[in-house]
Amino acid sequence: MSSPGIIVFDLDGTLVDQLSAVRRWTDEFIVRHAADPALSPWITRELTARAPKDEAFARIAEKVPAAGHPSEMWQEYRTRMPELVELFTGTADALRGLRQAGWVLGIATNGMTDNQAGKIRRTGLDALVDGWVVSAEVGVRKPDPLLLTALAAQLGVPLHGWMVGDGLESDVEVGRRAGLRTAWVSAASGSADADLTVPDVAAFADAILRR
Note the pLDDT of residue 82. 95
Note the pLDDT of residue 2. 63
Q: Which of 63, 84, 105 is the last residue of a domain?
A: 84
Q: Evaluate whether 176 touches 151 at the Cβ level (below 8 Å).
A: no
Q: Which of 158, 19, 153 is nearest to 85 (CA)?
A: 19
Report CA Rg, the chain: 18
pLDDT, one tens digit for every residue, the chain (211 residues): 567 999 999 999 999 999 999 999 999 999 999 999 999 999 999 999 888 888 999 999 999 999 999 999 999 999 999 999 999 999 999 999 999 999 999 999 999 999 999 999 999 999 999 999 999 999 999 999 999 999 999 999 999 999 999 999 999 999 999 999 999 999 887 777 899 999 999 999 999 999 7
Note the pLDDT of residue 3. 78
Note the pLDDT of residue 50. 81
Full residue range of the structural domain in which residue 48 is found: 18-84
pTM of the model: 0.92
Answer yes or no: do 107 and 193 share one domain.
yes
Answer yes or no: do 139 and 117 share one domain.
yes
Answer yes or no: do 155 and 97 share one domain.
yes
Answer yes or no: do 174 and 91 share one domain.
yes
Answer yes or no: do 38 and 128 share one domain.
no
Answer yes or no: do 101 and 158 share one domain.
yes
Answer yes or no: do 73 and 116 share one domain.
no
Answer yes or no: do 107 and 39 share one domain.
no
The domain total for the chain is: 2
Q: Is residue 1 part of a domain?
A: no
Q: Which of 84, 105, 131 is the last residue of a domain?
A: 84
Answer yes or no: do 73 and 100 share one domain.
no
